[in-house]
Homo-oligomer: A and B are copies of this chain.
Amino acid sequence: MTTLDRQVEHRLKDRDVRYTRARRAVVEALAQAGGPRSAAELHADIGPSVPLSSLYRSIATLEEAGVLTPHHGARSLTRYELAEWLAGHHHHLLCTSCGSVEDIDIPADREAVVRRLVDAIAADAQFAAASHALEIEGLCARCR
């Protein structure tokens, strides 16, 4: 059992939610993927042992527990990834050509700039900021 597993298990136990085979499979597949994955992609990764209906329910449960964060994209596709507290804070590069989503870590000094900006904007709008995301659209290294 990995550290990740232990963290998730603890989080779920706190909420009286069981860490079952299907849910574990989702968490492990996401950990391996290293980037956002859709339900269909997770189904392909995990295999037919977890049917789609269960997969969707597992995803919803994990999302409610704050283990996963959804990422909504084109063509009615929602991709998921492990939440910030599990996988760290990062931003996204969206390729408009191939549709890929790349996670990108940014150095702490730059992240500090973003955070200051977010706080200032939110304060001006009397908005209580919980999280932020900087998404950059364009062409990835392969497609340009």
Query: Residue A24 at the B interface, CB < 8 A?
Result: no
Question: Does residue A132 face the partner (Cβ distance < 8 Å to B)?
Answer: yes
Are A134's CB and B137's CB within 8 A? no
- Please name all residues of chain B whose beta carbon is closer than 8 Å to the beta carbon of A70 when the two chains form the complex: 74
Whether, in the assembled complex, A91 has its beta carbon less than 8 Å from a beta carbon of chain B, the answer is yes
Q: Mark A89-133, 1 if CB is under 8 A from B, else 0.
A: 001010110000010101000100110011011100111111111
- Chain B: which residue is nearest A111 at the CB level? B117
Query: Across the interface, do A106 and B122 meet the contact criterion of CB distance under 8 Å?
Result: no
Interface residue total, chain A, C-beta cutoff 8 A: 39
What 11 new A-B contacts, CB under 8 Å, besides A72-B73, A96-B130?
A76-B76, A95-B127, A113-B117, A114-B117, A121-B136, A125-B141, A127-B136, A128-B139, A128-B144, A131-B137, A133-B135
A74 to B79, CA, bound (A): 11
The answer to whether A93 and B127 touch across the interface, beta carbons within 8 angstroms, is yes
How many identical chains are in the complex? 2
Asked whether A7 is an interface residue with its Cβ less than 8 Å from the other chain, the reply is no
Contact call B74/A125, Cβ cutoff below 8 A: no
A138 in contact (CB, < 8 A): yes
Closest residue of B by beta carbon distance from A74: B72
Q: A138 touching B130 by the CB < 8 A rule?
A: yes
**CB of A95 to closest CB in B, whole Å:** 8
23 chain-A/chain-B pairs, Cβ below 8 angstroms = A70-B74, A72-B72, A72-B73, A72-B74, A93-B127, A102-B125, A102-B127, A104-B125, A106-B121, A110-B120, A110-B121, A114-B117, A118-B136, A125-B141, A126-B141, A128-B144, A129-B136, A130-B139, A132-B134, A133-B137, A134-B134, A134-B135, A135-B135
